[in-house]
Amino acid sequence: MTVETPTFSALGVPAPLVAKLAADGIDSPFPIQIDTLPDTLAGRDVLGRGKTGSGKTLAFSLPMIARLGGALAGGKRRPGRPVGLVLAPTRELATQITAVLQPLADAYGLRTTTIFGGVSQQRQVAALKAGVDIVVACPGRLEDLMKQGFVSLDAVEITVLDEADHMADLGFLPVVTRILSKTPENGQRLLFSATLDNGVDKIVNRFLHNEVLHSVDEANSPVAAMTHHVFEVNDAEAKTALVRKLASGTGRRILFMRTKHHAKKLARQLIEAGIPAVDLHGNLSQVARDRNLAAFSAGDVSVLVATDVAARGVHVDDIELVIHVDPPAEHKAYLHRSGRTARAGSAGDVVTVILASQRKDLEQLMRKAAIQVTPERVSLDSPSVNALVGEVAAYVKPSDAPVTLTGGGRAFGGGNGGNGGGARRGGQGGSQGANAQRKRAVRDGAGAGAGAGSDRPRRDRSAQGAGAGAAGGARRSGSGAGAGAGGRSGGSSTVWSSAGGSAAAAPRAHRSAPRRAQG
């Protein structure tokens, strides 16, 4: 007998939010949403425990918007006194929570803002002074603004603590405790965590009252739709070649490294081999981190090379493959890294690449992670390797020099004859850097539009630009101007040299039907 999945309406989600979900193609709730929504919508404190990618963000966003939206209808927001608070351990996660919350908040006219460190506080302070209903924040910057008197939590009605176990791992629990103690004792509190160790249980005991526990999965259970592989190779040279081949497929894939230096180095090596890649690690500025993650999310590049900063903070749909180039030090990191794929009911593969000397350590790690997988000795021609690579894009490596991040807007060689400046279109048409006489200039076909390459190198290679094509000298920021609609300022663009503007030089996503321009 099949059990019919309840609808969002049947769970008590208000009609305006159901309509928003339906417009985004979300019709059926996930198990953690089915379990928690009746209690959270009723105002009860909830402790939710579920695997990564199980739908926790929507599980707390819906009740927060539904309850605050109903209570604040026609009300007046007050500067620096939010009524909803979400705490997240990383900047990337805070940003992505806001991306889920804001469209729902729009249904009730609620205003949200995101607060985290690593950037100037000026805009965050301005938003607080203008009045916001919901704050999504990382603990350190939020406490700093509280001490400066820019924000008070005495009006908060609903508080959410997301990824509480990761907060503990990062040493944030003392500041989280101080922040929660400033929220009203009678407010609703929702805590979501994969585990309850490292002091998370103390937070639960102190701040949640008569809470309902919903544990959808065992704390360490791997995602059922995730297939794990361990590929063993003979030496470091064979490992490098294998990683490059695994990265060369057309679907999205994340490669995890132990150190920031190695992540940057591998991303550069992949780019030199003609594989669209960006890096994500702590040495990048927040602007660069946001830009690179946006390029990966949008499909402008197919490979993200990251440290564990991305193990929890990256929520991107349709990641086909996670590769542990450097196996992590402990099993929880393995599970969270791997959880970037097989999200929201999709399938995915996880590969760990090891040398023979690493086999024993990996066996212990897998045992703690409750994952059974038999190591396989492979070569570049092994069927299991080819099965994971799939279709390989026909990239053309520049003949004169490596090509790195550059350009303005999000463009792989501009639009179609200058027709879609800043659009994510590649292969057709293209642009030509005004500094094409330079040895490292980017030459991308013979389409309309011209980009002027800046002579001043910038560490984060940020881009300002508008126009039909993104161009400019490699490793230099570009400012493009052309016939088409403006490319988005500060966008990320990796421009690949092509043979006469051939479509084969662009990633697969850009050889398909052109996407809507981002003006």
* Domain boundary residue, one of 215, 236, 267: 215
Residue 305 and residue 450 share a domain: no
Residue 89 and residue 36 share a domain: yes
Does the pLDDT of residue 239 top 50, yes or no? yes
Q: Among 84-98, 146-160, 352-366, 475-489, whose mean pLDDT is lowest? A: 475-489
Look at residues 157, 222, 173, 178 and name the one whose alpha carbon lies nearest to residue 366: 222
Does the pLDDT of residue 145 top 80, yes or no? yes
pLDDT grade for 53, boundaries at 50, 70 and 90: low
Q: Among 135-149, 219-233, 346-360, 431-445, whose mean pLDDT is lowest? A: 431-445
Structure-block tokens of residue 240: 């490098």
Residue 234 and residue 143 share a domain: no
3-state SS, one letter per residue, for 166-180: HHHHCCCHHHHHHHH
* Alpha helix segments (H runs only) across 170-235: 173-180, 200-207
For the chain, the average pLDDT equals 74
Does the pLDDT of residue 459 top 80, yes or no? no
Most confident of 185-189, 293-297, 359-363: 185-189
* CB of 346 closer than 8 Å to CB of 318: yes
Domain of 334, CATH number, reads: 3.40.50.300
pLDDT for position 333: 82
Q: Please state the rounded mean pLDDT for residues 289-313.
A: 83
* CB of 429 closer than 8 Å to CB of 411: no
pLDDT for position 434: 34
pLDDT for position 293: 86
pLDDT for position 82: 95
Structure-block tokens of residue 376: 């396989």
Interstrand relation of 252-256 and 303-306 (parallel, antiparallel or unpaired): parallel
pLDDT grade for 136, boundaries at 50, 70 and 90: very high
* CB of 97 closer than 8 Å to CB of 162: yes
Q: Among 87-101, 222-236, 406-420, whose mean pLDDT is lowest? A: 406-420
3-state SS, one letter per residue, for 375-403: CEECCCCCHHHHHHHCCECCCCCCCCCCC
| DSSP 3-state of 187 | coil
Contacts of 451 (CB under 8 A, 6+ apart): 407, 408, 431, 432, 433, 434, 465, 467, 469, 470, 471, 472, 478, 479, 480, 481, 482
| Residue 162 within a domain | yes
How far apart CA 176 and CA 89 sit, in angstroms, is 10
* Domain boundary residue, one of 180, 195, 215: 215
**Which DSSP helix (H) or strand (E) runs through 114?**
strand 112-115
* CB of 105 closer than 8 Å to CB of 134: yes
pLDDT for position 67: 92
pLDDT for position 252: 87
Look at residues 233, 238, 266, 256 and name the one whose alpha carbon lies nearest to residue 354: 233
* Domain boundary residue, one of 389, 414, 434: 389
Residues spanned by the domain of 35: 15-215
How far apart CA 135 and CA 129 sit, in angstroms, is 13
Q: Which string of b and e fits 410-430 if b means at least 16 CB within 10 Å?
A: bbbbbbbbbbbbbbbbbbbbb
Where do we find the tokens 């660069």? 288
How far apart CA 404 and CA 273 sit, in angstroms, is 11
Residue 430 and residue 369 share a domain: no
| Residue 108 within a domain | yes
Q: Please state the rounded mean pLDDT for residues 56-63.
A: 92
Where do we find the tokens 């603990």? 139
| Residue 5 within a domain | no
pLDDT grade for 141, boundaries at 50, 70 and 90: very high
| Residue 323 within a domain | yes
Residue 439 and residue 302 share a domain: no
Into how many domains does the chain fold? 3
Q: Which string of b and e fits 5-26 if b means at least 16 CB within 10 Å?
A: eeebeebbbbeebbebbeeeeb
pLDDT grade for 201, boundaries at 50, 70 and 90: confident
